[in-house]
Amino acid sequence: MQDSSEQMDGLERLEGGLPGREPTRRVRRLLRRLRRSWMGVFAIATLVLAAAAVVGPRALRVEFGLLGVVSLLLLLFLAREERAARAGLTRERYLWARLRDLSQITEVVLGVRSLDDVRKLAGMGLQEAMLLLRAEYGALLLQDTDGDDHLTVLGFADRNYDHRPWLVEIQNLLRSQPFNAPLFVSDLAADPRFGETAMAAKAGFGSLVAVRFGSGSEAAGLLVVGSAAPCEFRRGDEKTFELTARVMMSTLRHGRKLDEFAEQIADLKREVDELTYANQAKSEFASVASHELKTPLTAIKASVDTLLANVRRGDHEAMEEFLLVIREEADRLIDMTGKILEISALDYSNRVMERRPVRLRRVVDSCAQALEVHLQEKDMHLAIEVPLELPPVFADPGMIRQVLINLIGNAIKFSTSGQTITVSARRREDAIEVLVIDQGVGIPLEEQPHIFERFYQGSGQGDNHSQSTGLGLAIVKEIVEQHQGHVRVESAPGAGATFTFDLPIARDGFGLEGTPLELKQSGEVEEFLRLAVDWIGHVARAEDCLLFLGTPEELQLYWATDDCENLLQAAKVATQALQRGGALIAVEPDASLVAVPLYFKDRSVGSFVARRRTPIFRQEDQLLVESIVDRIGRVIGEAAAQRDPGRLLRRAMRAVRDLLQSGQRRVPAKVDPALLAWELADRAGADMELARDVRLATNFHDVAMAQIGLDIEKQDRPLSPSERQKLHEHPRQAARLLEDIQAMEAVGTIVLHHHEWFNGDGYPDGLCGETIPLGARIVAIIDAYCSMTAPRKYKPVHVPFEAARELVRCSGRQFDPRLVLQFLQMLRDKAWIEADELAALHAEHAELDRPRPLRGDAGAGRPSAQTVPADNDMDSQPGLD
């Protein structure tokens, strides 16, 4: 920043250094002195002539009186001119003062970034421009470098009015003028360029000043200020407004650079957070691994010491016994180090998955042959019930073999002699469900949520329980989840255990060779596109989802979530979407379809098609699928621009897998929460983009539950303090996860804050009131309502009226009262509650509708005992999972 003396010199040059400015000021100063001198002369002359007209000679009194009147008129004329000159000088000083203020604000903003973004900075510039010209209304159309328009309006009574059409009209008029050259219109109705039907006049303008500002060939935006009535503009207004436009352009240019720096800093911060989390996990892993490795080493050392002490005695039986102990412990060490290396490779994606169509029966037979010796040692039988006619799975055969060996090996370890282990498989929609069933000791209910954690060892009493590493099931979970599957267990003490996992069915398709999507890491692109098909099918609640690649003339099926009953029908709709160059909905007699083109490097390369029988797709479904497909295209486009495309694609695939798994874990609700959130967002006045983000956030707000090892939906008891602490971590982890997908940052912000309370007592940041994003407040209400109306093992199911009443009770404390009222009306419009019930809820809401302390206010803090739910568990309150 400049120092104060340089700044004042610059302002003096700004005020007085314009071409032709200095001579004008000297003339004005000379005229002002002459005017004051003549005013003094005429004042004295008027007094003298008035006295002469009274006491002078009678013959001359009339003449003296007439001269006195003339002198008085001249005096009044000069006084009026002096007053006008003073007023003009005052207004000019006022304008320069405003410019000085604006310049100072610009300097401050450029020196210290105190504003959130460029749009706020531009809004401040608009307000300053209105003050400079004393305008009643103002509008600013700011164009981003990516082509998006952001509109700011000030002074208008109706902020929801669409001001873009008349701004575009003015922008077209200004295209022939250079940047920063203002257009002055004193009377819109009389101006032939506008006329009485002008959109600007309809918007409330009677007079206006407009300028299109930018630099070089780059347009930055349009600034318009004006008043409701016609008015005359002064000559100095043009220079004032031009300077304002130049200052605003300079400010915006620097602001955009600061925005770019802020994005880079945010990316670095996110990477630091990920590295910190990974380093913490690595430290915990190393600590536990060191302890586990120390146990067999201690046994080996003790056995060696005993052997050395007794080697001279020649007791061969004792020596053989100790050598057997050493061999067993060495085998245990080898097994443990192998598993540690394996899980490390899975963690850091060092092991490349080689997925292809695999016959599951062949893999199971191979595992049975490898474990035959262990089965014979315990006189156990392995029953294989995997039908040969099952369709192949799309998997890495080596990884799936390891999953089966770990599960069957555990079954052998924790079963007794003579028992049977069963491996079976069956088809479930578009996946193969694999079951490993034993008749062993079983797993206690309280241990089941933890058995997939690393180094966790339960209380089972198998023959080799002491030799368990606690890593086998953790490896199983990692591998299955990398295959977009989910592993689960059902067991009871003494009744054996059943481990179940899913694998996707392989579909016929073709590679990306010869297509625009053939990148350096085409394998990762293929995998990501197949995941994208599953993702769109899940979000759109579609029965089938397909991806066609190619042109309208040569379109081929690339991937599908299931066997499509009418492939030609889907291909026809995909072709129509590509020919049209945009999304469309087709309603056929047996189903409805939505098709959205996929764009890569500004060209269409294919089309996604989602199909379902009921309900038929609506416009909001099409917009949602468009949003997902746009994000998919951005991920691939960003990857193509990277030196290492695989790194970005692997991060995106990990995020999508977690999104899909979070959707699979949710308890089926009687209604679609995402559609409820969409409708509430629409009632709350959210724009289309925010409504789409709210719908996505509602689908995926629990995406991080698997990472923290907590499955709320399967809880059969209230949360413990440690589980509650884990619960508080999941919004941040979910937001970080969503940032790995291009253009999902806004969804991540909603997910991050959907557990904030309206009074500031929520988490993770303790936001309160309207500082909580609108989307997060909407998701909180919908999530609470659906949680109360869905079945839970330790909570009764609420009917809609009971759930709505609980929302009312927590209104103003946990939930936004205005949104609660809108949601109540939405329930009534759907006939889920009766009219008298709505009236009762409104009455209760009115009783609670009083100012409540927010965090930081006097008396803020946790609510009193009268307003807290009976069991006082945070997880039992409606808005929490």
Domain boundaries, the chain: 4-109, 115-268, 349-504, 507-665, 677-687+703-881
Q: Is 186 helix (H, G, I), strand (E, B) or coil?
A: coil
- Measured CA to CA in angstroms, residue 813 lies from 293, 782, 783, 787, 798 at distances of 51, 16, 16, 18, 21
> Domain 349-504 adopts which CATH fold?
Heat Shock Protein 90 (3.30.565)
| Omega prior to 493 cis, within 30 of 0 | no
Whether 686 has a pLDDT exceeding 50, the answer reads yes
How far apart CA 868 and CA 870 sit, in angstroms, is 6
Amino acid at 114: S
Let me know: does 605 contact 599? Beta carbons within 8 Å.
yes
User: Which residues, at least 6 apart from 33, have a Cβ–Cβ distance to it below 8 Å?
Assistant: none
Using alpha carbons, select from 236, 177, 251 the residue that is nearest to residue 210: 177
Q: Which pair of structure tokens corresponds to residue 429?
A: 């929609």
How far apart CA 520 and CA 523 sit, in angstroms, is 9
Q: Residue 774 has what pLDDT?
A: 92
- Measured CA to CA in angstroms, residue 455 lies from 288, 444, 452, 614 at distances of 7, 17, 9, 47
Class of domain 507-665 (CATH, top level): alpha beta
How far apart CA 686 and CA 776 sit, in angstroms, is 12
DSSP state, 134? Answer: T
CA torsion 331→337→341→343, rounded to 10°?
A: 90
Whether 433 has a pLDDT exceeding 90, the answer reads yes
Q: What is the pLDDT of residues 850-860, one digit of tens each?
A: 544 444 443 33
User: Which residue has 């120390």 as its token pair?
Assistant: 294
> Domain 115-268 adopts which CATH fold?
Beta-Lactamase (3.30.450)
Least confident of 369-383, 397-411, 647-661: 647-661
Using alpha carbons, select from 734, 667, 728 the residue that is nearest to residue 707: 734
Please give the average per-residue pLDDT across 174-199, as a whole number: 72
Q: Residue 465 has what pLDDT?
A: 46
Amino acid at 729: E
How far apart CA 816 and CA 819 sit, in angstroms, is 5
Whether 489 has a pLDDT exceeding 80, the answer reads yes
Q: Of all helices (H) and strands (E), which one includes residue 541? A: none
Would the CATH topology of 349-504 be identical to that of 677-687+703-881?
A: no
Give the pLDDT band (50/70/90) at residue 18.
Answer: very low
Give the pLDDT band (50/70/90) at residue 847.
Answer: confident
- Measured CA to CA in angstroms, residue 170 lies from 192, 261, 353 at distances of 13, 34, 58
Q: What angle do CA 832, 833, 839 make, to 5 degrees?
A: 155
- Measured CA to CA in angstroms, residue 805 lies from 800, 832, 853 at distances of 8, 13, 22
Q: 592-600 and 497-504: which strand pairing?
A: unpaired
Tally helices (H) and strands (E) across the chain.
25, 17
How far apart CA 163 and CA 170 sit, in angstroms, is 11
Q: Residue 498 has what pLDDT?
A: 92
Whether 781 has a pLDDT exceeding 80, the answer reads yes
Q: What is the pLDDT of residues 692-705, one digit of tens each?
A: 888 888 877 666 55
User: Which residues, at least 6 apart from 222, have a Cβ–Cβ distance to it below 8 Å?
Assistant: 139, 140, 141, 167, 170, 171, 174, 210, 211, 212, 213
Please give the average per-residue pLDDT across 408-437, as a whole number: 89
Q: What is the pLDDT of residues 606-663, one digit of tens each?
A: 899 998 888 888 888 888 888 888 888 888 888 777 777 777 787 788 777 777 766 5
Whether 733 has a pLDDT exceeding 70, the answer reads yes
Sign, CA torsion 385/388/389/391: positive
Q: Which pair of structure tokens corresponds to residue 729?
A: 């971590």
How far apart CA 750 and CA 701 sit, in angstroms, is 8
- Percentage of the residues of the chain whose pLDDT score is greater than 70: 63
List the alpha helices (DSSP H) in 551-618. 567-580
Whether 500 has a pLDDT exceeding 90, the answer reads yes
Using alpha carbons, select from 284, 265, 296 the residue that is nearest to residue 347: 284
Strand order in the sheet with 381-385: 381-385, 420-428, 431-437, 497-504, 487-491
DSSP characters over 304-338: HHHHHHHGGGT-HHHHHHHHHHHHHHHHHHHHHHH
Amino acid at 485: G
Q: Which pair of structure tokens corresponds to residue 132?
A: 């400079």
Q: Residue 254 has what pLDDT?
A: 60
- Percentage of the residues of the chain whose pLDDT score is greater than 90: 7
Give the chain's end-to-end CA distance (angstroms, integer).
Answer: 50
User: Which residues, at least 6 apart from 336, have a Cβ–Cβ distance to it below 8 Å?
Assistant: 289, 292, 293, 296, 469, 471
Let me know: does 250 contact 160? Beta carbons within 8 Å.
no
Class of domain 677-687+703-881 (CATH, top level): mainly alpha
Whether 466 has a pLDDT exceeding 60, the answer reads no
Whether 804 has a pLDDT exceeding 80, the answer reads yes
How far apart CA 852 and CA 859 sit, in angstroms, is 9
Please give the average per-residue pLDDT across 579-602, as a whole number: 87
Q: Residue 342 has what pLDDT?
A: 59
pTM as predicted: 0.45
Give the pLDDT band (50/70/90) at residue 434.
Answer: very high
How far apart CA 711 and CA 725 sit, in angstroms, is 14
DSSP characters over 193-249: TT-TT-HHHHTT-SEEEEEEEEETTEEEEEEEEEESS--PPPTHHHHHHHHHHHHHH
Q: What is the pLDDT of residues 501-542, one digit of tens each?
A: 998 887 654 455 555 665 555 567 877 888 888 888 888 888
Whether 708 has a pLDDT exceeding 80, the answer reads no
Q: Is 614 helix (H, G, I), strand (E, B) or coil?
A: coil
Q: Is 432 helix (H, G, I), strand (E, B) or coil?
A: strand
User: Which residues, at least 6 apart from 77, have a Cβ–Cβ distance to it below 8 Å?
Assistant: none
Whether 772 has a pLDDT exceeding 50, the answer reads yes
Q: Of all helices (H) and strands (E), which one includes residue 123? A: helix 118-132
Whether 718 has a pLDDT exceeding 70, the answer reads no
Whether 236 has a pLDDT exceeding 70, the answer reads no
Whether 598 has a pLDDT exceeding 60, the answer reads yes
Q: Residue 431 has what pLDDT?
A: 85
DSSP state, 765? Answer: S
Whether 65 has a pLDDT exceeding 60, the answer reads yes
| Greater model confidence, 11 or 218 | 218
Q: Which pair of structure tokens corresponds to residue 214?
A: 């930018």
Whether 761 has a pLDDT exceeding 80, the answer reads yes
Amino acid at 113: R
Whether 138 has a pLDDT exceeding 60, the answer reads yes
| Greater model confidence, 127 or 507 | 127
| Omega prior to 357 cis, within 30 of 0 | no
Length of the chain as a residue count: 881
